[in-house]
A and B are shown apart, each in its own frame.
Chain A
Amino acid sequence: MAAVMELDSDDTELREQLGALIKTAVDAIVSIDSHGTVRLCNPAVERLFGWPAQDLVGKNVSVLMPEADAHRHDGYLARYMDGGDARIIGKGRKVRGKRYDGSEFPLHLSVGECTVSGERYFVGILRDLTAETHEQARLQQLEDQLALMGRRSAVSEMGASLAHELNQPLTAIDLFLTAAKRAFPKHPDQALALFEDARTEAQRAGAIVKRIRKMVEGAEHKRELFALKPVIEDAIELCRIADTANPATFEIVGADSVEVFGDEVQIRQVLVNLIKNALEATQHQNRRDVQIAVARQRSITVDVADNGPGVDQTIAAKLFEPFHSTKSGGLGIDLSICRSIAESHGGELLLVSQAGLSPGACFRLRLPDADEEIRENDR
């Protein structure tokens, strides 16, 4: 130990015990004074940061921080001493640390405050999160892969009808061009207008391909703020073109100006699956209604409801378990993937009975409100 704090007690046994406690701790323990100067640290600091413990004592604790934080630390400390709000004291936080060799790593820091002989000290306990972060990244990677598999399986199930949807504009292009070719000698103006029509159809074909690509491409995991309504519209469009039964009526309620913080590709995937299920549930009906109702009350809920026969009680219990599909074809993992996507966004996916259309099924995707989260983080 580089320095031993003065203890009121003369009890050598207690001193030794305290010393051993700090010395043998796996987590790094650093004590600083009100100026940010390191007064005491344990051997674990050496393991974590590569700093010789005795060299660290007397230095400003900011040497253990990356540049950006190091600059601000003195300011934070001074403000707190002036009676400012505690940002980190009394609670734990994930921060980045800087080793002796300059490399950075993630760590968890919790700080307590004490007064010894009239002087204020701050004691920080630091745990290395490198392994955990690796583990989390790996888990995230697996989750992303699973989500991608889900998207691909959704598209492969839709495959034939997606191809058919391309037939629509492709046939129209041929018809427009044939008409234009015939009109050209005598009515070139008319032919020009028909060329324009053919272009519109070509662009429509392009849009269909783009939409399919959005589903099958392995998007990098990213979290961003995005408007919900276009994603709902996209999902509807994709499902609509893959639906071979009598066309359904779609209604979007309350989605204007709602923003979600998350992975847009994955949220679209959840919606595609829910809408696809709604369409499958109603495929033999004459009147097919699918309603997507968005509500914002502390959290954001997206209810996907259909006017189908509803979900049977016995099936409802196992609905979100993988490989429990009641449909032929498909692995029956889609809903369980959707639920894990919802959960990885800090939300949930449920079958709700007291909502939606009656009769019919209603699935609710609940996501945290982005603004709430920002407010929470700023606190």
Chain B
Amino acid sequence: MTRIAIVDDDDGMRRALVALLGVGSCQISAYATGEAFLDAVPEKAFDLAVLDLRLPGLTGLKILERLKPFAFPVVMISANGDIRTAVDAIKLGAVDFIEKPFVPEELEGLIERVLRERGRNTEPACPDVEPEQTHFSVLTPREKEVAFALHEGLTNKEVARRLGCSPRTIEVHRARVFSKLGVSNIAGLVRMVSGFSH
């Protein structure tokens, strides 16, 4: 049985997540605060945690910092547009994030993928896996600039301003970067670049 922890201070969201994920063969524990969640971590042996980035008291990022000794993957739920925090979360070891609003299938797909990858690889899903440098050599200098700017958590618009081109151009670069590196989203890119730059 898969043990999943849900941490969200919003009553409606928390109960909805429990209702959705609790139907299958998962055992769900839900927490309204990071403190309650961290208290439960040592004894519960979670397989995965779904963590809201915005929490009262201990924030999602603080929780990630304290979770470091534990090896289960953490999926973050972020506010729409709060890419910077989401990127910081990836740098702190979260495997991926999903932006609100999302449809149930997106979250379920993400959880399934994370659990499957984890089944294959027992290494902690942290950025300390050394990626092959050759990955980045496939990028043009411009694409590298774009990749590093996105890794900083800049939005397309901000990257465009920094590099002095149109957001549309950045979108094209971004799509190329993703496909060349074989990542599907910003989270994958950040994981890869973090490993690279460490």
Contacts and interface: CB of A to CB of B under 8 A. Distances in A.
B19 A171 contact: no
Contacts of A57: none
A164 B80 contact: yes
Dominant SS among interface residues on chain B? loop
Interface in A155-190: 160-161, 163-164, 167-176, 178-180, 182-183
Contacts of B20: 175-176, 178-179
A168 B19 contact: no
Interface string B91-111: 000000000111110000000
Contact of A164 (B9, B81, B102, B104): B81
Contacts of A176: 16, 19-20
B11 to A, nearest CB: 9
A183 B24 CA distance: 10
A204 interface: yes
B23 A167 contact: no
A204 B103 CA distance: 19
A168 B100 contact: yes
A164 B17 contact: no
Contacts of A172: 10, 12-13, 15-16
Dominant SS among interface residues on chain A? helix
- In which size bucket is the chain B interface? 20 to 34
Interface string A191-225: 00010010011001000000000000000000000
Contacts of A140: none
A70 to B, nearest CB: 61
Interface string A225-243: 0000000000000000000
A170 B103 CA distance: 10
Interface in A125-174: 160-161, 163-164, 167-174
Interface stretch (A106-114, A244-252, A270-278): A244-252
B82 A244 contact: yes
A175 B21 CA distance: 9
Given A160-B81, A171-B100, A244-B82, A200 B54 contact: no
B163 to A, nearest CB: 22
Most buried by A among B10, B56, B100, B101: B101
B81 A247 contact: no
Contact of A247 (B13, B23, B56): B56
B12 A247 contact: no
Contacts of A180: 19
Contacts of A200: 12
B79 interface: yes
A165 B103 CA distance: 16
Contacts of B79: 161, 164, 167, 244
Contacts of A160: 81
B155 interface: no
B183 interface: no
Contacts of A201: 12, 16
Nearest to B52: A168
Interface string B15-47: 111011011000000000000000000000000
Nearest to B107: A175
A180 B102 CA distance: 17
Contacts of B10: 168, 172
Given A171-B100, A200-B12, A201-B12, A246 B59 contact: yes
B149 interface: no
A246 B12 contact: no
Given A160-B81, A244-B82, A171 B13 contact: yes
A247 B15 contact: no
B16 A170 contact: no
Contacts of A247: 9, 54-56
Nearest to A245: B54
A155 to B, nearest CB: 17
Contacts of A204: 12
A169 B12 contact: yes
Contacts of B22: 179
A302 B80 CA distance: 35
Given A167-B80, A167-B101, A168-B12, A175 B56 contact: no
Contact of B16 (A171, A183, A246, A249): A171
A174 B100 CA distance: 12
A18 to B, nearest CB: 79
A175 B100 contact: no
Given A167-B80, A172-B12, A183-B23, A246 B56 contact: yes
Contact of A175 (B16, B55, B82): B16
Nearest to A182: B23
A174 B12 CA distance: 11
B29 to A, nearest CB: 17
14 contacts: A164-B79, A167-B80, A168-B10, A172-B13, A172-B15, A175-B13, A175-B17, A179-B20, A182-B23, A183-B23, A194-B19, A197-B15, A244-B82, A249-B56
A-B interface, 6 closest residue pairs, ranked by CB to CB distance from nearest: A175-B16, A247-B56, A172-B16, A179-B19, A167-B101, A178-B104
